[in-house]
């Protein structure tokens, strides 16, 4: 494990202020985008279609230049895990089923394409939308904010926790702990040196946050006002149309066109 | 019912599963419009007091609370916690932990939206607090990109938006650099004067704070003293490091000199000091003190040499260090000072290879850090980072120390570990969990777990943040002893008052990733132009000496040095 891993993840998922189009898009439209991506990954199983979708999604990223960089950082951070899972799955399917290695590999490539599409959708949602916007989006469809905030805060803490893990990693290495050496089992055991302090520090942070929220009236009432209200504008309608058309086209194409890959 | 801002009657409190009280028999009333400081040692119940006033005790924490608590006319114990919301605001020790939202504006509206204020009022309040705290420019910023001082102001804004009548701040100054400290205190002063908000600051760093407060309370499970700042100071200044409170150097000096009325600020002290001097005309010519300077540079090879070091963060592309050149010689005691975000931590992370230079070269004991592993370099340079909790993960104190020793391949690790724990006065805690021990003990344990493998150079990053004065002095004694044993020490800090007590060889001033200057302390700490450029305030004694134009003759750094100089006349 390298220090860059924590850096990559924490930077990729960090919200940044900007005037990009993606920041301006209504949170509901972005939530719809995530839902559609999840639906697609369950329905579509053809690699050619998934790859086309992946290209379309990547084009969407270019609307906010930093997102492309963030995506690369995210990939860099997740690559080892994806690789481990893929290799593990291929081995398991070769040992326990009678499919060929080519087929097993294809299955894995398809799931990577799905993961990447989903990663892009979530990345766009998390790094261009604020918790406040998401909470309001859910409130508009009748879900009480007290249920939504905890989830959003959990997501918001991911980059912060990774950043803290980086500092913990530094502190442990300063005590001579080497993460790159030794057998796999030893390396895994050494992770305790990072995970335990991370959990302790996270609990302390969560305790502070709960107190601070309580004292600022969180949960005072089931209702909540919003100081400005999110409204669908032309850009949102455009975004929704493009996204929906794209995903519907993908589903239709899956069933009527012949498979290339 | 009561008509005070805060009124505690016969308060005794036990935390759940605890047999000794955190607070005992507290009787205290604070009027509306007061500006109170509550000082006292770490673990003296200061935070417990804040939790009682805000209703977190007993409603969230549980435990046994005896006595009556009345805050803004509300009996907090009988009513539930909701009854007090909107009346009291609290800024916690680590304010960034209490931020919920990602955009400053959204964070400010958070309580207003919870409390169902209407949109018009909310919009008005946003403008109001942004302008009264002068943070309009932060309005659309992401909260995760703010500096420590900015975060504190945003948290404050979010609280002020609902116009509480009482404001509590729990150790707000601990992590701020000197300039941010002044800024925050000015803001609080204004809130108190203009809007009549009752302010309670829980803090042991009094040097700046004392000028602003109307009342000082010393708490150590009981109320030790309570009254006008000057009177209380006179009481506690009697005992040396009384209750962990950092008494301003100025006040200590005049106490030593036996002056009746204690000045609280430098401005107050100038006249008294001048008068004192005029009684003893011409004394300073024969009071010139020769500082024992232990010059080690001459003719020796540096053990660490940094050459044109640049560092660029790989993610954001921000340049953190810009052409650093510096040498460290064996046995030196060095401090690196600079405001938050000046690059101090980034710089020291290069000394054991955690970070590798983007450009330039760092050589540690003849090894280029680019081609050496951290474990190899850490043998020579031990770095203790700011937060001890970032490194504890074993079950006992002893194992924690043994862990580093084993990593470094120390033979007879257990023996060494026990010896170092004894040296740090932690022997009685060997079988305790590192999470159970006090803040000061945790700090010592963190240092012990580095020193156990005997590195040549010890680096401490913000080692004094969040610990009280007696713990700081305890730390200083350890450092001085290490210097005597021939170790090289590098201190990273913005705690300038602490530095004035340390027998430093050299101070390096860092600002915005560059070294502004380096030199002996009596040169650097007397160069206020330089320090101002680095957003660091000089210590009180040098300020006083400069103001009375004596710096041509003597350059004492702290009241003890000045006192010895004065008593030589």
| Residue of chain A with shortest Cα separation from B451 | A175
Average pLDDT score over chain A: 89
pTM of the model: 0.86
Rounded to the nearest angstrom, the minimum Cα separation between B438 and chain A is 15
Whether the predicted pLDDT of A177 surpasses 60: yes
Show pLDDT as tens, one digit a residue, over chain B (569 residues).
678 999 999 999 999 988 889 999 999 999 999 999 999 887 788 889 999 999 998 898 989 999 999 999 899 888 888 888 889 999 988 888 999 999 999 999 999 999 999 999 999 999 999 998 999 999 999 988 888 889 999 999 999 999 999 999 998 988 888 888 999 999 999 999 999 999 999 998 888 999 999 999 999 889 988 999 988 888 887 765 567 788 888 888 888 888 877 888 888 888 888 887 776 655 554 444 444 445 555 567 899 999 999 999 887 788 999 999 999 999 999 999 998 889 999 999 999 999 999 999 999 999 999 999 998 999 999 999 989 999 999 999 999 999 999 999 888 899 999 999 999 989 999 999 999 888 888 999 999 999 999 999 999 998 888 788 888 888 999 999 999 999 999 999 988 889 999 999 999 999 999 999 999 999 999 998 999 999 888 999 999 999 888 888 888 998 888 888 887 76
Residue range A30-71, pLDDT digits in tens: 999 999 999 988 888 888 899 999 999 999 999 988 899 999
Distance between CA atoms of residues B28 and A108, nearest Å = 69
Q: Give the per-residue pLDDT at B288.
A: 46
A246 DSSP β-pair partners: none
Q: B182-187 — which CB contacts under 8 Å span 24+ positions?
A: B182/B208, B182/B537, B183/B149, B184/B149, B184/B152, B184/B153, B185/B209, B185/B211, B185/B212, B187/B133, B187/B153, B187/B156
Rounded to the nearest angstrom, the minimum Cα separation between B417 and chain A is 14
Rounded to the nearest angstrom, the minimum Cα separation between B109 and chain A is 7
Find chain A residues with C-beta within 8 A of B383's C-beta.
174
Find chain A residues with C-beta within 8 A of B94's C-beta.
205, 208
Q: Is B538 left (phi over 0), alpha (psi -120 to 50) or beta?
A: beta
Rounded to the nearest angstrom, the minimum Cα separation between B507 and chain A is 24
Strands (E), B365-453: 367-368, 381-384
Nearest to A225 among B100, B118, B145 (CB): B118
H-type alpha helices, B205-265: 206-209, 229-236, 249-256
Q: Give the per-residue pLDDT at B290.
A: 47
Tokens, residue A120: 């892009």
Find chain B residues with C-beta within 8 A of A74's C-beta.
none
- Give the 3-state secondary structure of residue B536: coil
- For residues A254-259, average pLDDT: 82
Find chain A residues with C-beta within 8 A of B83's C-beta.
none
Across the interface, whether the CB atoms of A173 and B375 are under 8 A apart is answered: yes
Distance between CA atoms of residues B15 and B21, nearest Å = 7
Determine the residue among B52, B101, B175, B312 to mutate to test chain A binding: the one whose Cβ has the most chain A Cβ atoms within 10 Å. Answer: B101
The contacts of residue B253 (CB under 8 Å, 6+ apart) are B269, B541, B559, B562, B563
Tokens, residue B504: 């430093």
| Residue of chain A with shortest Cα separation from B406 | A176
Q: Which run of H or of E encompasses B539?
A: none
Nearest to A130 among B97, B106, B118 (CB): B106
Instruction: Give the full edge-to-edge strand order of the sheet including B88-91.
Output: B88-91, B166-170, B198-202, B35-39, B215-220, B222-227
Residue B267, number of CB atoms within 10 A of its CB: 12
Distance between CA atoms of residues B190 and B84, nearest Å = 24
Determine the residue among A176, A199, A218, A222 to mutate to test chain B binding: the one whose Cβ has the most chain B Cβ atoms within 10 Å. Answer: A176
Find chain A residues with C-beta within 8 A of B389's C-beta.
197, 200-201, 204
Across the interface, whether the CB atoms of A192 and B450 are under 8 A apart is answered: no
Q: What are phi and psi of A14, to 5 degrees?
A: -75, 135
Q: Give the per-residue pLDDT at B395.
A: 93
Across the interface, whether the CB atoms of A130 and B316 are under 8 A apart is answered: no
What is the DSSP-derived secondary structure letter of residue B340? T
Across the interface, whether the CB atoms of B387 and A167 are under 8 A apart is answered: yes
Sign of the Cα torsion A218, A220, A221, A227 reads negative
| Residue of chain A with shortest Cα separation from B138 | A17
User: Which residue is associated with the tokens 């839902």?
Assistant: A35
How many alpha carbons fall within 13 Å on the CB side of residue B527? 16
| Residue of chain A with shortest Cα separation from B447 | A175
Q: Give the per-residue pLDDT at B298.
A: 53
| Residue of chain A with shortest Cα separation from B403 | A175
Find chain A residues with C-beta within 8 A of B86's C-beta.
217
Rounded to the nearest angstrom, the minimum Cα separation between A167 and chain B is 7
Distance between CA atoms of residues B96 and A127, nearest Å = 19
Nearest to B92 among A132, A176, A208 (CB): A208
Residue B223, number of CB atoms within 10 A of its CB: 18
Across the interface, whether the CB atoms of B56 and A214 are under 8 A apart is answered: yes
| Residue of chain B with shortest Cα separation from A133 | B106
Residue B238, number of CB atoms within 10 A of its CB: 9
Residue range A186-208, pLDDT digits in tens: 888 888 999 999 999 999 999 99
Across the interface, whether the CB atoms of A167 and B449 are under 8 A apart is answered: no
| Residue of chain B with shortest Cα separation from A128 | B102
Q: Give the per-residue pLDDT at B255.
A: 83
Distance between CA atoms of residues B43 and B132, nearest Å = 34
Determine the residue among B151, B313, B393, B448 to mutate to test chain A binding: the one whose Cβ has the most chain A Cβ atoms within 10 Å. Answer: B393
Across the interface, whether the CB atoms of B100 and A204 are under 8 A apart is answered: no
Q: What are phi and psi of B124, to 5 degrees?
A: -65, -45
Q: Give the per-residue pLDDT at B289.
A: 45
Find chain A residues with C-beta within 8 A of B408's C-beta.
176
Across the interface, whether the CB atoms of B100 and A192 are under 8 A apart is answered: no
- For residues A217-239, average pLDDT: 91
Nearest to B374 among A173, A216, A228 (CB): A173
The contacts of residue B98 (CB under 8 Å, 6+ apart) are A208, A209, A211, A212, A213, B91, B92, B155
The contacts of residue B250 (CB under 8 Å, 6+ apart) are B263, B264, B265, B266, B269, B540, B541, B544, B559
Q: Give the per-residue pLDDT at B287.
A: 46
| Residue of chain A with shortest Cα separation from B356 | A3
Across the interface, whether the CB atoms of B407 and A221 are under 8 A apart is answered: no
Nearest to A16 among B86, B109, B142 (CB): B142
Q: What are phi and psi of A245, to 5 degrees?
A: -60, -45
Nearest to B111 among A17, A192, A217 (CB): A217
Q: Give the per-residue pLDDT at B450.
A: 93
Q: Give the per-residue pLDDT at B259.
A: 80
Tokens, residue B250: 């100025």
Q: Give the per-residue pLDDT at B429.
A: 92
- Check if the beta carbon of residue B19 is closer than 8 Å to that of residue B45: no
Rounded to the nearest angstrom, the minimum Cα separation between A219 and chain B is 7
Nearest to A15 among B82, B110, B142 (CB): B142
- For residues A149-176, average pLDDT: 90
ipTM of the complex: 0.87
Rounded to the nearest angstrom, the minimum Cα separation between B122 and chain A is 6
| Residue of chain B with shortest Cα separation from A204 | B97
| Residue of chain B with shortest Cα separation from A229 | B119
Q: What are phi and psi of B74, to 5 degrees?
A: -110, 130
């Amino acid at each position: 494990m390298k220090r860059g891993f924590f850096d990559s993840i924490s930077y990729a998922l960090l919200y940044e202020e900007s005037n990009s189009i993606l920041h301006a898009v209504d949170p509901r439209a972005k939530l719809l985008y995530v839902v559609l991506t999840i639906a697609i990954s369950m329905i579509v199983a053809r690699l050619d279609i998934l790859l086309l979708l992946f290209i379309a999604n990547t084009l969407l990223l270019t609307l906010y230049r930093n997102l492309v960089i963030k995506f690369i950082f995210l990939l860099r951070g997740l690559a080892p895990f994806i690789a481990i899972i893929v290799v593990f799955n291929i081995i398991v399917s070769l040992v326990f089923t009678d499919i060929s290695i080519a087929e097993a590999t294809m299955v894995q490539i398809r799931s990577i394409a799905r993961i990447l599409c989903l990663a892009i959708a979530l990345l766009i949602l998390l790094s261009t939308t604020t918790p406040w916007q998401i909470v309001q989006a859910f409130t508009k469809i009748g879900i009480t904010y007290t249920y939504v905030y905890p989830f959003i805060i959990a997501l918001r803490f991911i980059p912060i926790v990774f950043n803290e893990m980086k500092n913990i990693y530094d502190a442990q290495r300063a005590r001579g702990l080497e993460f790159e050496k030794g057998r796999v089992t030893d390396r895994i055991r050494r992770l305790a040196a990072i995970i335990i302090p991370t959990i302790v520090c996270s609990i302390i942070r969560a305790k502070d946050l709960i107190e601070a929220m309580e004292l600022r009236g969180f949960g005072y009432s089931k209702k909540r006002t919003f100081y400005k209200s999110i409204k669908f504008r032309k850009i949102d309608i455009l975004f929704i149309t493009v996204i929906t058309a794209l995903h519907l086209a993908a589903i239709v194409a899956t069933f009527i066109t012949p498979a290339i890959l | 019912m009561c008509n005070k801002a805060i009124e505690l009657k016969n308060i005794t409190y036990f935390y759940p599963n605890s047999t000794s009280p955190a607070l005992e028999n507290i009787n205290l009333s604070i009027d509306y419009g007061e500006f109170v400081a509550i000082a006292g040692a770490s673990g003296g119940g200061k935070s417990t007091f804040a939790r009682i006033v805000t209703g977190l005790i007993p409603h969230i924490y549980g435990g046994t609370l005896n006595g009556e608590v009345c805050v803004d006319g509300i009996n907090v114990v009988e009513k539930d916690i909701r009854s007090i919301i909107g009346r009291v605001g609290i800024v916690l020790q680590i304010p960034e932990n209490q931020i919920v939202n990602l955009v400053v504006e959204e964070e400010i509206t958070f309580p207003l939206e919870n409390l169902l204020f209407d949109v018009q009022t909310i919009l008005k309040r946003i403008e109001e607090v942004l302008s009264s705290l002068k943070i309009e420019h932060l309005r659309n910023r992401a909260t995760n990109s703010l500096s420590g001082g900015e975060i504190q102001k945003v948290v404050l804004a979010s609280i002020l938006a609902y116009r509480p009548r009482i404001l509590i701040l729990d150790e707000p100054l601990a992590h701020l650099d000197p300039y941010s400290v002044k800024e925050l205190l000015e803001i609080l002063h204004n809130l108190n004067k203009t809007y009549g908000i009752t302010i309670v600051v829980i803090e042991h760093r009094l040097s700046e704070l004392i000028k602003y407060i109307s009342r000082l309370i010393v708490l150590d499970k009981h109320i030790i003293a309570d009254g006008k700042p000057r009177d209380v100071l006179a009481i506690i200044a009697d005992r040396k490091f009384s209750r962990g409170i950092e008494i301003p150097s100025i006040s200590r000096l005049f106490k030593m000199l036996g002056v009746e009325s204690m000045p609280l600020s430098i401005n107050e002290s100038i006249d008294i000091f001048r008068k004192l001097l005029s009684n003893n005309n011409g004394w300073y010519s024969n009071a010139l003190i020769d500082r024992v300077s232990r010059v080690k540079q001459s003719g020796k090879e540096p053990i660490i040499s940094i050459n044109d070091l640049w560092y660029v963060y790989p993610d954001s592309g921000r340049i953190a260090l810009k052409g650093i050149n510096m040498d460290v010689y064996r046995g030196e005691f060095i401090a690196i000072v600079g405001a938050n975000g000046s690059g101090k931590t980034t710089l020291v992370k290069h000394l054991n290879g955690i970070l590798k230079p983007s450009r330039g070269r760092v050589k540690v004991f003849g090894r280029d850090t680019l081609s050496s592993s951290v474990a190899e370099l850490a043998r020579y340079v031990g770095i203790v980072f700011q937060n001890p909790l970032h490194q504890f993960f074993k079950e006992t104190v002893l194992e924690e120390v043994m862990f580093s020793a084993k990593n470094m391949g120390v033979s007879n690790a257990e023996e060494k570990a026990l010896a170092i724990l004894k040296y740090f006065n932690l022997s009685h805690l060997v079988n305790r969990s590192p999470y159970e021990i006090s803040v000061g003990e945790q700090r010592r344990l963190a240092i012990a777990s580095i020193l156990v493998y005997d590195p040549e150079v010890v680096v401490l990053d913000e080692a004094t943040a969040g610990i009280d004065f007696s713990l700081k002095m305890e730390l200083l004694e350890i450092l001085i002893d290490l210097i005597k044993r021939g170790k090289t020490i590098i201190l990273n800090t913005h705690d300038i008052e602490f530095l004035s007590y340390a027998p430093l060889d050299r101070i390096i001033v860092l600002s915005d990733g560059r070294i502004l200057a380096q030199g002996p302390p009596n040169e650097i700490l007397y160069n206020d132009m330089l320090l101002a450029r680095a957003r660091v305030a000089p210590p009180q004694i040098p300020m006083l000496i400069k103001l009375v134009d004596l710096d041509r003759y003597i350059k004492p750094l702290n009241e003890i040095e000045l006192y010895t100089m004065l008593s030589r006349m």
